Amino acid sequence: MDTAIPSILLQAVIVPLIGALLCAFLGKYLKRNTGWIAAAATIYSTALLAYVAVQLWTQGGQLVETYTWGTIVFQLDFGFLADGLSIPVALAMSIICTAMTVYSINYMDHRIEHLYGKDKPGTYALYYALFLLFPVGLIGGALSTNTIELFLFLESGLFPFYILMDVFGYKDRHRIAMMSFVWTQIGAAVLLIGAVIAGVKAGSFAITSLSVLSGTDLGLLACGLILVGILMKMGTFGFHVWLPLVHAEHPTSIAAVLATIVGFGTYMIARLLFQNMFASFQLFSLPLMILAVVTMFYGAYLTMGQDDVKRLFACSTIGQTAYSILGLASMNAMGVEGGVFYFISHILGKAILFSVAGILVTQTGTRSIKEMGGLAGKMPLTATLCLLGAMILSAIPPLSGFQAEWILFTGVFMQGLTGTAYMILAILALFATFLTAVYTFWPAIRIFFGPTPAGMEKTKEAPLTMTAPLVALAVISVLIGLFPDIIMHFLTSVF
């Protein structure tokens, strides 16, 4: 396929970067309005990706852009590949980033004032300049054609992530910033080890050349290392200890992006392991499935016990990403399609929920659910959004979660028919999803329903820049839920 716009994919990645520079230089003068520059940059990227998606839909095939990067010592192409797998993922992540940029405008105003007092223009520049590196990393990562490029984009968000946590985070932010950096860095390092082993032995770092090793002993090693690296980044049980803390203490706009980064592992597994190293990857089916199911239950029970509204949604990410892992572990097309679909759906929902948490924190000044109640009357739109987010997570149609979940579980049950152990896991996993409804709706009820406690009578609805992006996300989720072909058209073309 081809497009009328030259270097369209490169533009989609570069424009937020240019936006970041602009923000860095102009932030001091524009103050909170810097956010609009950032929003413009992300909207531009989103529009480009949407355009590519439309072209891809109508023309089929794939779009590849290659720029030479390394020539002699390493044969590295700095390539961008837009196909049925990468485009929906990139587009979804770009939309989340856009929504969160707009959301930030008011949210960060509040946060900065709370932390550093009024009249700190430099902090806006810092925030938006660093924030825009996330779309760069995420879009670039999704479009990468080689493992080194992928790693580069993955890591490009890491340092901003650290600084943002350190400067704008909530309690105990310095220690947690360090911890998150080290954890994701270890994950990335393990991933890199696997990728480099594969790359060196296969003679090329191109993602497609991973297939050379597929099925060999070395392939198994590389596959295992890549998988462990990704699982660390995804916070599956055993590697999850950083996730609730980091997720909860970040500014909520970043936390939503973090959910995206965490879920991005789904895409990486699909792209690197499922597509290119299937013969090696399929040996991990059973262990991965067990891990996913354990994580789902653990995440569910951990979430249920939380009283802190930010930590609550943070813990739920653990279980939710495990769904996607479960889908991928089923080793068939339906499962992988479902896994990636679920990832997209989950980030939409989680972005909404985290932002709702942010709204609650800014409007009520507390994070404890115990102190909240009856807020639905005070902030009906926020309550609706929270319930919509809960519906996405607990797979209630017509939101996208349902379509993703049944497709995912069709794959899982398909694997389930191959053995009793798989079947038991599949059914267990399905009942773990039941717990999602418990841990999303129950807190929502505690926050928004019931009598209003004494201190909360004056709570007001959040400003429009905070709610409108979330409404947009919810609408997108409904659209996907009603017409899943928006996603499935792309995914079925590659799997």
Partner 1 sequence: MQIIDVAPWLCWILPAIGALAALALNKVNRKAMNITVLSTTLLSCIMTLLMVPSLLNNSSIDHALFWFQIAGAQVNAGLLIDALSIIVANVVSFLSLLIMIYSTKYMAEDPSIARFWFFMSLFLSSMLLLVLADNFILMFIGWKLVSLCSFGLIGYYYRDEKEHWIGGPAPFPFQKPSRNGLKALLMTSFGDTALLAGIIILYLYSHTFNFMELIQTAGTWLPAMAATPGILALTCVLLLLGPLAKSAQFPFHEWLPEAMSGPTPVSALIHAATMVKAGVYLIARMLPIFFFAAWVAAPAYPEALTFFIMAGAIGAFTAFLGGTQAMVAKELKKVLAYSTMSAIGYMVLALGISGLSAGSLVAGTSSSIFFLINHGIFKVVLFLCAGVVIHSAGSIYLDHMNLSTKRMRFTLVSMWIGGLALMGVFPLSGFWSKDNVLIACLESGQYAIFAVAMISVVLTAFYVCRMMGLAFHTGTPDGNIHRDEEFRDRKLAEDHAHGEEGHWIEILPYGLLAALTVVIGLVGPLVSEFLSSAFSTYYANMGLEVAAETHTGFLGLSGLGLEVLVAAVSIVMILIGAVPAYFLYIKPTSNPSNLLPQTGIRRTLYNFLWNRWYINAFYNKVFVEPSIWVSKRVQRYIEDPLNQAINGGIPEGFKWLSRGLSRIQTGKLRINMLYLLVTIVIALIVLWLGGFI
Partner 2 sequence: MFTLPFDLLLIFTVASPILGWVSPKQYRAKICGVFAAAALVVVGVALFGLYQDVVANAAVYLPSNALNFATLRVDALSIFMTAIFLGLGFAATIYSIAYVENSGRTPFYFTLILALISGMVGIVFAGDLLALYVFWELMSISSYALVAFFKEEGTPIEAGFKFLIMSAAGSATALFGISLIYGLTGTLNFEGLVAALSGATPNAWIYLAAVFVFVGFGVKTAVFPLHTWLPDAYSAASAPISAILSGIVIGPGVYALAKVFFTAFLPIQTAWTLAFAVLAVVTMLIGNITALRQTDLKRMLAYSSIGQVGYMLIGFAAASQLGLTGTFLQFFNHALMKGCAFLCAGAIIYRLGSRDISGMQGVGRKMPLTAFAFAISVAALVGLPPLCGFPGELTLFSSAVQADLTWLGVALLLNSVISAGFYLRIVYVLVQPVSSPAVEKIKESPLLMLIPILALMVLIILFGVWPDPLVNFAGDAANALISLGGNP
Site residues, partner 1 (CB under 8 A): 179, 241-242, 244-245, 298, 301-306, 332-334, 337, 374, 376-377, 391, 394, 396-398, 402-403, 405-407, 409-411, 413-414, 417, 426-427, 430-431, 433-434, 437-438, 441-442, 445, 448-452, 483-485, 488-489, 492, 495
* Closer residue to partner 1 (CB): 47 or 468: 468
Q: Does 166 bind partner 2 (CB under 8 A)?
A: yes
Member of 11, 62, 185, 493 binding partner 2 (CB under 8 A): 185
Among partner 1, partner 2, none, partner that 242 touches (CB below 5 to 8 angstroms by kind): partner 1
Answer whether 480's CB lies under 8 Å from 349's CB. Answer: no
Least distance between partner 2 and beta carbon 190 (Å): 8
Sign of CA dihedral 284, 286, 291, 297: positive
Residue 302 binds which of partner 2, partner 1, none (CB < 5-8 A, kind-dependent): partner 1
Neighbours of 153 (CB within 10 A): 21
**Site for partner 2 contains 69 (CB under 8 A):** yes
- Residue 464's alpha-carbon distances to 35, 470, 477, in angstroms, are 15, 10, 19
The dihedral built from the CA positions of residue 83, 85, 87 and 88, taken in this order, carries a sign that is positive
* Min CB(265)–partner 1 separation in Å: 20
- Give the total of residues touching partner 2 (CB under 8 A): 37
Return the closest-CA partner of residue 149 out of 262, 257, 69. 69
Least distance in Å: CB of 42 to partner 1? 28
Which of residues 165 and 259 has its CB atom nearest to partner 2 in the complex? Answer: 165
In whole angstroms, how close is the CB of 135 to partner 2 at the nearest point?
A: 15
Pick the closer one to partner 2 by CB: 152 or 286: 152
What is the bridge-based pairing of β-strands 63-70 and 76-82? antiparallel
Is the Cβ of residue 4 or residue 454 nearer to partner 1 in the bound state?
454
Instruction: Determine the Cα angle at 25 with ends 21 and 29, to 5°.
Output: 140
Distance of closest approach, residue 245 Cβ to partner 2, in angstroms? 16
Asked if 174 interacts with partner 2 (CB under 8 A), we say yes
Which spans of this chain sit near partner 2 (rule: CB under 8 A)? 68-74, 76, 116, 122, 148, 151-152, 155-156, 158-159, 162-163, 166-167, 174, 177-178, 181-182, 185-186, 189-190, 192-193, 196-197, 199-201
